[in-house]
Amino acid sequence: MGDSATPGSFSKRFDAVVDRLSLANHRVVVAFSGGLDSTLLLHALHRSAAIESLAAIHVEHGLHEDSADWSAHCASVAKSLDIDFVTCKLDLKLESGQSLESIAREARYAALVDAIGPGDIVLTAHHADDQLETVLMRLLRGTGVRGLTAIHAVRPFGAGRLARPLLDFTRAEIAAEATRLSLEWLEDPSNADTRFDRNFIRARILPALQERWPQGGVTASRLARQMAEAESVLGEVAAADLAPAGGFERIPVDLLAALSEPRLNNALRHAVREQELPVPNAIQLAELRRALVAREDSEVVVCWPGAEARIYRHKLYLLSPAETGRSKTGRIDAGSAFALANGELHLVAAEAYGIPDRWARDGLEVAFRAGGERFRPEGSQHHKRLKNWFQEAGIVPWMRGSVPLLFHGDELVAVADICLADSLPQGPGDGPFWRPVWRSRPSLQ
């Protein structure tokens, strides 16, 4: 690796990265904090002949008394370079037990997503030392292969992409180039606060490691790329193992139980991620694995923060707790929608059998199972207890209390959009007719 203090050497390597990341012919937006790393990144992009459209966005967290001055500094730098600039101010609310670092990071990335359009590329100034810090932190937290992919060089991001062109540069190389160019940058005093894990590693651990292994950051970046390849292979294996299920909402227990323990763990993590749910930790995963192997016939529930797994009738269901939320009662008519905890209920025109127009215009009561309801489904000769009808229809137990029931007076006339009552008036003066539609509903069977 060349000496970036040599005029031209940094630019040559940086231009090669710009070419590799295909940044040309895109609007490039730099996440600009005003610190050393993002300051050099912004200047390097401004000097690159390949970059035609360049902008900067500064996210003001409001966590320091000098935040407004930092925003003004960033605006001044952007103006001196004639670069489009915007400041996004955050209103962070920290709840008990939450990490300030993680809350600020999530809010920052959400602001960046909102600031870009289709095809835009957001660049952050993460470098090789950041990669080493991240690998060390995740190792100490007991991460797996996916965690060791660490900071990705490029990934999808909102309507565009997120890229890190400095990942193969050390902080020392960045500082040397910034000094050579006589750049000015901000120093955030919170970076010296070793109460934060990352700052502790940066201040206390990295100097000793880099003294012994100067290229440790570059090695960590190489490791992260190799782990990304390994994670890709694991994803392909999991997808193949789960392919017979035809999806991830309902996975046959027999399919999972036939897998070896490592492949089962891999398949479960993959399915959870595909459902966009938090991945369980090792203890929770082991509990779920034991439940699957036991193949109990009754309903089994395994919960972890932000997700739950249910086993019912030899199938595994992976759910968000919000999916089983209970809605409030109310009224719906032909001209309005009814908001549910998990979707939205509408009345739409029926092509054949349906709810009479006068009932739909006057409005129907929307309620939920309380117990004891009886129902005569369309095409049936006899009334049934709603509980028994749910069982026969295969409605999963945890959703039975969330299914909206439509009443005309005391008469149950529709069970969501699953079934209408058999006794609806269908005479010449009763039309047009309506049927309920439950939009964005979770799986019921």
Q: Is residue 61 over pLDDT 90?
A: no
What's the rounded mean pLDDT across residues 289-300?
75
DSSP H stretches of helix in 243-325: 253-257, 261-274, 282-294
Q: Distance of CA 215 to CAs 76, 154, 350, Å?
A: 35, 22, 69
- In what helix (H) or strand (E) does residue 1 lie, and over which residues does it extend? none
Q: By mean pLDDT, which of 87-91, 133-137, 203-207 is the weakest?
A: 87-91
The answer to whether 444 touches 397, Cβ cutoff 8 Å, is: no
pLDDT tens sequence across 299-310: 788 888 889 898
pLDDT at position 37 over 90? yes
pLDDT level of residue 98 (50, 70, 90 thresholds): low
**Is the pLDDT confidence value at 425 over 60?**
yes
109 vs 122: CA distance, rounded Å: 10
Average confidence (pLDDT) over 219-236: 92
User: Which of the two residues, 244 and 295, has the higher pLDDT score?
Assistant: 244
The answer on pLDDT for 429 being more than 90 is no
Higher pLDDT, 352 or 124: 124
Of 8-12, 157-161, 291-295, least confident by mean pLDDT is 291-295
Confidence tier at 97 by pLDDT (50, 70, 90): low
More confident call, 361 vs 191: 361
pLDDT given at position 428: 83
The interaxial angle of helices 261-274 and 216-242, nearest 10 deg, is 90
* Residue 1 binned pLDDT confidence (cut-offs 50, 70, 90): very low
Return the minimum-mean-pLDDT range out of 75-79, 292-296, 385-389. 292-296
**Do residues 406 and 414 lie in contact, with contact meaning Cβ atoms separated by under 8 Å?**
yes
Q: What is the pLDDT of residue 297?
A: 59
368 touches 329 (CB < 8 A): yes
86-100, 210-224, 398-412: the lowest-pLDDT one: 86-100
Percent of the chain's residues with pLDDT above 70: 94
Residue 67 has pLDDT above 90, yes or no: no
Predicted TM-score (pTM) above 0.85: no
Residue 15's pLDDT band, with cuts at 50, 70 and 90, is: very high
Tell me the pLDDT of the chain averaged across its residues: 87
Pairing of strands 53-60, 84-89: parallel
